[in-house]
């Protein structure tokens, strides 16, 4: 038994030596390609899709609503009847005024005939000039009353037409405030009509970021329901006054190329893209490494040797989508995007080839 102990000890020592000689495995890292000039200043504001033109529709006269031919969401054409008031009263008013016009026309014809007779009598010296002037004045007054009656008849006929509410343009009914049988006043809003065509996104911009929106190089709209689809946009209107409650300005962003997917009332993001720094690059936040001196640096990957080296950089702003590096990197270089805190100078690594993490143009893994 004692003779076997030296043999077992030698075997254990040999096993430990073999384990110590095993090479350290090559660590996989996620790489990111440096793109100089891609660090655009991007600010995102949430807003609501609204029509370019939305009108409050109302009757010009008061009356009882007897018919409503549309509902919320109904698409209408220009000139289409939307609602109708009881036309009995306005029709009677037009009829009465028509009778007043007939009476005024009769009075005017009589006064004209009287004037003609008195002119003949005046020529024969049977009446005085004063009597002739009286008949001429009577004829002029009758003619004026006829003209007044005709104008009043035109007004009453227009009011009879106002009993029917028609669509001023093509659009969609977005709100209804009345029902059949309700008595409405003149000018009372009965429904809202949003014109089809150009759509906009209304956003609220804080005071200190208003200049950023006005000087934006590009505006892009994306729906929350479909964030992959982008719509080019342009700044159309900035409210001249600030909201007293939120201290923000209402900004309307027009979307000229809007389609049916950009529905009214939907929530959308407006990306405000600024000029950015032409010499800066946007890198992942996890790629920033702080050494013992506290200065920022990144690990640069060398494709030829497969090694990483630490390089000091100058940082700009930290954003939600990454960190802005103003100096220290060259266009086209590859840096470690994740796992920076686990590396050492000169360490051999290999690009991680997980699904969806190998970008086009990423260098192939270096041989071990």
For residues 287 and 300, membership in a common domain is answered with yes
In this predicted structure, the answer to whether residue 164 has a pLDDT above a threshold of 80 is: yes
Least confident of 56-60, 89-93, 350-354, 360-364: 360-364
For residues 153 and 116, membership in a common domain is answered with yes
Whether the model clears a pTM of 0.75, i.e. scores above it, the answer is: no
Domain finish residue from 105, 137, 161: 161
Distance CA 15, CA 127 (A): 152
Contact 63, 161 (CB under 8 A): no
Tell me the per-residue pLDDT of 118-133, one tens digit each, with 9 for 90 and over: 888 888 888 888 988 8
**2 assigned to some structural domain:** no
For residues 175 and 263, membership in a common domain is answered with no
* pLDDT on residue 340: 76
Note down the domain range covering 262.
42-52+198-273
**211 assigned to some structural domain:** yes
**358 assigned to some structural domain:** yes
How many separate domains does the chain show? 4
Tell me the per-residue pLDDT of 235-272, one tens digit each, with 9 for 90 and over: 999 999 988 888 999 999 999 888 878 888 889 999 88
Number of helices (H), then strands (E), belonging to the chain: the values are 4, 23
Tell me the per-residue pLDDT of 20-72, one tens digit each, with 9 for 90 and over: 545 667 788 888 888 887 666 777 899 999 888 888 999 998 999 999 999 99
Report helix angle 129-161 to 88-123, nearest 10. 160
For residues 128 and 147, membership in a common domain is answered with yes
For residues 60 and 31, membership in a common domain is answered with no
Q: Residue 67: in which H helix or E strand, if any? A: strand 63-68
Residue 77: partners with Cβ closer than 8 Å, 6 or more residues away: 167, 170
For residues 46 and 67, membership in a common domain is answered with no
For residues 247 and 118, membership in a common domain is answered with no
């Amino acid at each position: 038994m004692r003779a076997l102990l030296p043999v077992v000890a030698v075997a254990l020592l040999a096993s430990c030596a073999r384990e110590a000689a095993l090479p350290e495995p090559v660590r996989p890292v996620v790489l990111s390609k440096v793109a100089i000039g891609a660090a655009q200043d991007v600010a995102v504001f949430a807003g609501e899709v609204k029509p370019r033109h939305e009108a409050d529709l109302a009757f010009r006269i008061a009356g009882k609503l007897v018919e409503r031919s549309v509902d919320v969401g109904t698409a209408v054409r220009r000139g289409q009847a939307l609602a109708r008031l009881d036309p009995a009263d306005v029709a009677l008013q037009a009829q009465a005024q028509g009778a007043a016009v007939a009476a005024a026309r009769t009075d005017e014809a009589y006064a004209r005939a009287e004037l003609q007779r008195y002119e003949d009598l005046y020529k024969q010296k049977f009446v005085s000039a004063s009597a002739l002037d009286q008949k001429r004045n009577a004829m002029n007054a009758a003619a004026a009353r006829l003209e007044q009656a005709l104008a009043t008849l035109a007004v009453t006929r227009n009011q009879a037409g106002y009993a029917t509410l028609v669509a001023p343009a093509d659009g969609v009914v977005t709100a209804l405030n009345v029902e059949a049988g309700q008595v409405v006043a003149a000018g009372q809003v009965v429904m809202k009509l949003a014109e089809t065509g150009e759509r906009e996104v209304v956003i609220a911009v804080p005071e200190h970021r208003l200049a950023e929106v006005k000087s934006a190089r590009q505006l892009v709209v994306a729906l929350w329901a479909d964030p992959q689809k982008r719509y080019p946009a342009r700044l159309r209107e900035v409210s001249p006054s600030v909201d007293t409650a939120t201290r923000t300005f209402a900004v309307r962003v027009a979307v000229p190329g809007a389609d049916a997917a950009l529905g009214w009332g939907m929530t959308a993001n407006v990306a405000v893209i600024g000029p950015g720094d032409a010499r800066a690059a946007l890198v992942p936040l996890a790629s920033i490494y702080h050494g013992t001196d506290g200065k920022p640096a990144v690990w640069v990957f060398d494709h030829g040797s497969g090694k990483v080296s630490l390089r000091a950089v100058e940082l700009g702003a930290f954003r939600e989508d990454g960190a802005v590096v103003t100096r220290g990197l060259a266009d086209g270089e590859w840096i470690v995007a994740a796992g920076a805190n686990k590396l050492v100078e000169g360490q051999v690594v290999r690009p991680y080839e997980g699904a969806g993490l190998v970008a086009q143009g990423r260098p192939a893994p270096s041989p071990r």
